[in-house]
Amino acid sequence: MEFSYAILQLDKDRIVEKGFRSLDAINREFGKVFLGDYTTAYIGLHEGKNEEIILEHLFHIFNVDRPTDFWGHSMSVSDVIELNNTKTNETKFYYCDSFGFKEIEFQLIN
């Protein structure tokens, strides 16, 4: 299966307040993860059948083998990966947490 993906990173004005914090900490303090706090740092395509393996592979790519046109920081806690199954057009968002990824729903208003 083919997936399109986007690497979302916090806007520079939100990094100090919300950056590099676990999902539990964000939910306790702010209630939700807000889409408006993020900027798209990279868009690409990835082949795979298992979303968990794709997420781990993307984590590796954006920490070890970063594409030359990627302008963001190394992937870390508080980053979000948007995965879209190009066959079913189903989109899911995954928060890069202290350990692994957690599926989230974005709050659109902040």
Query: 50-109, pLDDT tens digit by residue?
Result: 999 999 999 999 999 999 999 899 999 999 999 999 999 999 999 999 999 999 987 554
pLDDT band at 16 (very low <50, low <70, confident <90, very high): confident
**pLDDT for res 106:** 75
Strands 38-47 and 101-104: unpaired
Tell whether the model's pLDDT for residue 24 goes beyond 50.
yes
How is residue 89 written in tokens? 């057009």
**48: Cα separation from own chain's centroid:** 17
**pLDDT for res 91:** 93
* Ranges of each domain in the chain: 2-104
Task: Find tokens 């989230």 and name the residue.
Answer: 104
- Establish how many alpha carbons lie within 13 A of residue 78's alpha carbon, considering only the half-sphere containing its beta carbon: 21
**81: Cα separation from own chain's centroid:** 3
CA nearest neighbour of 80 among 32, 13, 48: 32
Instruction: Answer yes or no: pTM beyond 0.85.
Output: yes
CA nearest neighbour of 62 among 42, 84, 40, 85: 42
**pLDDT for res 108:** 55
